[in-house]
């Protein structure tokens, strides 16, 4: 119970719309106070209430865009000071006391239990002390003895009621948030579990490609490795996201399961055969999309798109999903590497394609990944020589 009270004290009110409307109601009430003071000829009160109105108006306008707790605290602090000054002067009689009561209650609803009670209870204590000290003197003359004796109790009851209501609301918000967080966590775990199962199914299907074309299976593995390396250079840090890029590279050609075996490792195809071969991207997309793996399915569908729009689907530049642009470049590197082309030459050829076939920004990151691999190869070579 104590832990929940502490939690509620630290909680900021969730209902910003309610807070905004309360500030607008306060603006309307302050306008009435200005008019009432003017009718009584209390020009100094008109000035004070105008300052209060300005504070409420600025706070409500800021809150219409975004709520800032410190802006609310400053606003209510200014208004509280002004109203207590008016209470001390007694020019508005008992009305001023009830305005102070309204501000104290509003502070709890607008600021929450912690900040609201700091200002609200300050008002209560201030008026209690003032009424107690002056109960037989100035305050009695202005408000009457009975009012001075009873008002502090009235104010305490109103503040207690406001605190109970806000505590109930805050407790509800906390419970609702925790329920939502737990529900979202369960949903995410369910999605992650289903995603892992789906990936295992796809990997099992990919393994069947090895029987059709071991060369193509090796190509897919290399593409997966380069896709992950390039994604890391692009700023991807989370392991789960890097795994997505890896599988996008590994499964980019899974649609070739539906392509006749005779087309798999041939270097030349007729126009008609090429049209059949190109369908592997659609087949791959349909297979992966059925398992709700959007990023990976996009990589399968669009990895043959070119920066200038002369790919399979005619997409160009940033119309091509980023993951497909990365897989396309990894695919290019993998094919050349399989042909025995050294990494320095691959880097030159890739650079030449930047802004033509491939996104020059990703080409730059890919070249950095290639440089890392060249450096590692040199280090391994030097280590091997030192051993022997």
What is the chain's pLDDT, residue by residue, as a tens digit (388 residues)? 555 545 545 555 556 777 788 888 889 988 998 898 888 888 888 999 899 999 989 988 888 888 787 888 888 888 888 888 888 787 777 788 788 878 877 777 777 777 777 777 777 777 777 777 655 466 667 777 777 777 777 777 777 777 777 766 666 666 666 666 666 665 566 555 566 666 777 777 777 666 667 788 788 899 999 999 999 999 999 988 998 999 999 989 888 888 877 766 666 778 888 888 889 899 989 888 887 788 899 999 999 999 999 899 999 999 999 999 999 999 999 999 988 999 999 999 999 999 999 999 999 999 999 999 988 888 776 655 544 4
Q: What is the pLDDT of residue 388?
A: 45
53 located within any domain: yes
**Token pair recorded at residue 110:** 């607008």
Q: Could you tell me if 246 and 224 are in contact, meaning their C-beta atoms sit under 8 angstroms apart?
A: yes
SS3 call for 269:
coil
178 and 278 together in one domain: no
Judge if 123 and 253 occupy the same domain.
no
| Secondary structure (3-state) at 354 | strand
- Note whether 84 and 219 are same-domain residues: no
Based on the fold, state whether residues 41 and 170 are members of the same structural domain.
yes
If asked whether residues 149 and 268 sit together in one domain, one would say: no
Q: Are residues 97 and 231 in the same domain?
A: no
Pair (163, 257) in one structural domain:
no
Residue 387 belongs to some domain of the structure: no
What does pTM read for this prediction? 0.54
Look at residues 291, 337, 280 and name the one whose alpha carbon lies nearest to residue 313.
280
Report DSSP letters for 54-90, one per residue.
HHHHHHHHHHTT---HHHHHHHHHHHHHHHHHHHHH-
Token duo for residue 21: 């409307």
Identify any residues that bridge with 354 across adjacent strands, giving them in sequence order: 358
Considering the domain architecture, whether residues 19 and 77 belong to the same structural domain is answered as: yes
With respect to residue 190, please indicate whether it lies within any of the assigned structural domains.
no
Q: Are residues 153 and 246 in the same domain?
A: no
271 shares its domain with 349: yes
| Phi-psi map region of 42: left, alpha, beta (phi>0 left; psi -120 to 50 alpha) | beta
Show the domain range for 57.
Answer: 2-182
Rg of the chain, C-alpha, whole Å: 36
CATH code of the domain in which 341 resides:
1.10.3210.10
Query: What are the helix and strand counts (H, E) for the chain?
Result: 16, 0
How many domains, in total, are found in the chain? 2
Pair (249, 355) in one structural domain: yes
């Amino acid at each position: 119970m104590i832990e929940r009270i502490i939690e509620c004290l630290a909680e900021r009110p969730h209902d910003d719309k309610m807070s905004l409307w309360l500030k607008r109601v306060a603006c309307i009430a302050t306008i009435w106070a200005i008019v009432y003071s003017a009718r009584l000829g209390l020009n100094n009160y008109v000035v004070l209430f105008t300052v209060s109105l300005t504070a409420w108006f600025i706070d409500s306008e800021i809150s219409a865009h975004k709520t800032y707790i410190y802006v609310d605290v400053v606003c209510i602090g200014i208004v509280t000071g002004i109203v207590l000054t008016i209470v001390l002067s007694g020019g508005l009689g008992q009305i001023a006391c009830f305005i102070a009561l309204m501000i104290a209650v509003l502070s709890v609803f607008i600021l929450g239990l912690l900040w609201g009670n700091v200002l609200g209870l300050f008002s209560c204590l201030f008026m209690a002390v003032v009424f107690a000290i002056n109960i037989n003197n100035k305050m009695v003359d202005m408000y009457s003895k009975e009012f001075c004796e009873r008002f502090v109790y009235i104010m305490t009851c109103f503040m207690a009621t406001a605190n109970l209501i806000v505590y109930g609301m805050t407790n509800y918000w906390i419970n609702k948030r925790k329920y939502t967080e737990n529900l979202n966590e369960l949903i995410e775990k369910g999605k992650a579990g289903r995603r892992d199962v789906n990936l295992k199914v796809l990997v099992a299907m990919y393994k069947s490609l090895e029987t059709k074309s071991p060369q193509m299976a090796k190509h897919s593995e290399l593409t997966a490795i380069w896709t992950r390396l390039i994604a890391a250079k692009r700023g991807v840090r989370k392991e789960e996201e890097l795994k997505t890029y890896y599988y996008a590279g590994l499964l980019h050609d899974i649609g070739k399961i539906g392509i006749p075996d005779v087309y798999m490792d041939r270097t030349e195809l007729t126009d008609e055969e090429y049209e059949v071969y190109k369908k592997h991207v659609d087949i791959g997309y349909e297979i992966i999309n059925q398992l709700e793996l959007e990023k990976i399915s996009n990589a399968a569908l669009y990895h043959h798109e070119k920066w200038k729009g002369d790919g399979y689907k005619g997409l160009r530049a940033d119309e091509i999903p980023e993951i497909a642009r990365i897989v396309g470049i990894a695919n290019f590197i993998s094919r050349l590497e399989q042909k025995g082309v050294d990494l320095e030459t691959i880097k030159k050829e890739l650079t030449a394609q930047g802004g033509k076939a491939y996104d020059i920004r990703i080409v730059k990151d890919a070249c950095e990944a290639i440089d890392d691999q060249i450096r590692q190869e040199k280090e391994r070579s030097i280590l091997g020589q030192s051993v022997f």
